[in-house]
Homo-oligomer: A and B are copies of this chain.
């Protein structure tokens, strides 16, 4: 299950990706179609016109692990809504550094940031086999007008995406690398909660390098930080399976953006112990 994306290459090595496209596919890049009502239910919208939504069909596109859904700089044709699977969105800097902006899962909208300019400012790569609804931009206005439910759902999803964009700032704002990783894990956990899944057991579909890019640290540091969190007993890690053992402890680590305790000390001993590492930090919930 996990190994299926072992040969996922970076966006830079797209020669291999295009080979994927060049394979003798069934000739039809968009074969399947899905019902609009299914799309709406995935997005959590109320359906106002059941008959129309059942009848209306939306192009459905399957994306295999490692395949590029959108390529930075290309013309924008469609906006996508994730049906299943996970994507990473990224931008490649001038120096070739791959900056991972975020990870998109079920019900997330991909590619909307291209509407204003007409070409995609960021790429999207499937981290595992995935399926997306494709909303052609040419039909988007008409569709939104005819189906108010879709309009509202899109608005809401975009609003959520805008609110979620602060997430990358949140993880990168922390000074300590363990805090960044802790915040990232807590974000993933909360996302799982929003989807009604287990908040303790996380499956990370992305590589350590992707996490590192998203956190703004070197990928070796991600490994070390995972090690520290394990040493402190906050999580258990098995490759890309992560189990959160002590949510409050993790939150304690994630709390401190930077050293200054904001001059209102005398409240809680919530400072990370300067214990030259590998010693358990303060531990807000452990003393209890």
Q: Footprint of B on A, CB under 8 Å?
A: 12, 91, 93-97, 99, 101, 112-117, 121-122, 141, 145, 148, 151-152, 155-163, 165-166, 168-170, 172-173, 213, 216, 218, 255-258, 260-262, 264, 270
Contacts and interface: CB of A to CB of B under 8 A. Distances in A.
A145 B213 CA distance: 41
Contact of A121 (B97, B151, B166, B168): B166
A257 B173 contact: no
A159 B116 contact: yes
A177 B162 CA distance: 26
| Residue of A96, A116, A218, A256 most packed against chain B (CB within 10 A) | A116
Given A166-B91, A256-B95, A113 B159 contact: yes
A2 to B, nearest CB: 26
Given A141-B148, A218-B258, 9 more contacts: A95-B262, A97-B257, A97-B258, A99-B257, A112-B162, A113-B163, A116-B156, A165-B165, A172-B173
Nearest to A173: B99
A99 B169 contact: yes
A169 B121 contact: no
A172 B216 contact: yes
Contact of A93 (B112, B115, B172, B173): B173
A163 B258 contact: no
Contacts of A168: 168-169, 172
A218 to B, nearest CB: 8
A159 B97 contact: no
A158 B157 CA distance: 12
A148 B145 CA distance: 10
Contacts of A161: 162
Contact of A158 (B94, B145, B162): B162
B93 A170 contact: yes
